[in-house]
């Protein structure tokens, strides 16, 4: 019978608990190694190093309707940017 284990996250240094049920799940899936990162560090790593809610948004002016909009990329002068309504209409 597995018991809860306390592990230190190799990224943030915080302690986290590797529960008995998580250990059973790992064994069932055939995973040989214990986790080395806490859940939040695993999620951050999975999302490319940042939390999905931290996505940087940039202001732009829609090339079709002219209204201000937010886009998840840095707009460039050589490419048109569209608001979500105009972008959907162009598809």
Would you kindly state where each structural domain of the chain is located, as residue ranges? Answer: 5-53, 56-90
Q: How confident is the model at residue 91 (pLDDT cuts 50, 70, 90)?
A: confident
- The whole-chain average pLDDT of the chain stands at 89
Taking only the tens place, the pLDDT of each residue in 15-55 is 999 999 999 999 999 999 999 999 888 888 887 755 455 67
Taking only the tens place, the pLDDT of each residue in 52-86 is 556 788 999 999 999 999 988 899 889 999 999 99
So what's the pLDDT on residue 25?
Answer: 94
Q: What angle do CA 83, 86, 91 make, to 5 degrees?
A: 120
């Amino acid at each position: 019978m597995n018991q809860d284990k306390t592990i230190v996250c190799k990224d943030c240094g915080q302690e986290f608990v590797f529960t008995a049920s998580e250990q059973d799940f790992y064994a069932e899936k055939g995973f040989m190694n214990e986790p080395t990162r806490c859940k939040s560090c695993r999620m951050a790593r999975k999302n490319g190093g940042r939390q999905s809610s931290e996505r940087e948004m940039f202001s732009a002016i829609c090339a079709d309707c002219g209204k201000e909009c937010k886009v998840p990329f840095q707009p460039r002068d050589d490419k048109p940017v569209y608001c979500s309504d105009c972008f959907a209409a162009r598809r």
